Amino acid sequence: MSSRGGSSIVSSNRTGREVMQPENYTLESKMGPEKLLADSVVLTRLDKAVGWARKYSLFQYPFVTACCGMEFMSVSCSRYDIARFGAEFPRFSPRQADLLIVVGTVTQKQAPVLRRVWEQMADPKWVIAFGACASTGGFYQNYAVVEGIDLIVPVDVYIPGCPPRPEQVLDGLMMLQEKISREANDTVIA
């Protein structure tokens, strides 16, 4: 078909109607900049990118006090491999950590130390209570044991068990990652 001396192509639009388009009409002009850049550029909001980075770069500070430490160490072994969740390297300085994992029984004498470690961590920071003793005081019902670390520091994820299985630890870590990504999407970065 020709239109005013030039040639044109008949094509259909979204509504199914046939429209006349010039012959030099290319796919690039129809797609827009988002589709042209889709293979080479990632377009996202800054808060989503920050949330993704925080979610997969957890620097843990293990506060290990009791027998749950053996199960905690097994999570880092090749069978369970906590590294695939971005939480492989423990930091033994609270100033370099953003995830406090409290593993085992916390006594009244250790409570101020735990609080000081938590206060020295940079924001944002998260806490996991690992095992029954950290969550509720465990089977120790006496004056020397803290009945759950939530009396000392705010806890984000509780992992039950005596001792918890490594699969439970990975589930708790994934729950924390989901919480981190939700928090990042809810906040506004100024």
Contact 159, 68 (CB under 8 A): no
Among candidate residues 182, 175, 189, the one with its CA nearest the CA of residue 87: 175
Tokens 């900049």 locate to 33
Question: Who wins on pLDDT, 139 or 127?
Answer: 127
Does the pLDDT at position 130 exceed 50? yes
Question: Who wins on pLDDT, 88 or 169?
Answer: 169
Contact 83, 172 (CB under 8 A): no
pLDDT at 190: 45
- CA 133 to chain centroid, in Å, comes to 25
Give the chain's domains with CATH numbers: 2-43 (no CATH), 56-173 (3.40.50.12280)
Question: Who wins on pLDDT, 136 or 10?
Answer: 136
Please tell me the distance from the alpha carbon of residue 155 to that of residue 147, in angstroms, as a whole number. Answer: 13
Exposure string for 139-168, b = 16+ CB within 10 A, e = fewer = ebeeeebbebbeebbebbbbbeeebbebeb
pTM reported for the whole predicted model: 0.69
- Tokens of residue 185, six digits: 């999407």
pLDDT tens across 55-75, in order? 777 888 888 888 877 888 888
Q: Rounded to the nearest 10 degrees, what angle do helices 68-75 and 166-186 cross at?
A: 70
Q: Is 82 exposed, middle or buried (0-12, 13-18, 19+ CB in 10 A)?
A: buried
Does the pLDDT at position 53 exceed 80? no
Question: Who wins on pLDDT, 173 or 185?
Answer: 173
Contact 130, 157 (CB under 8 A): no
DSSP state of 81: -
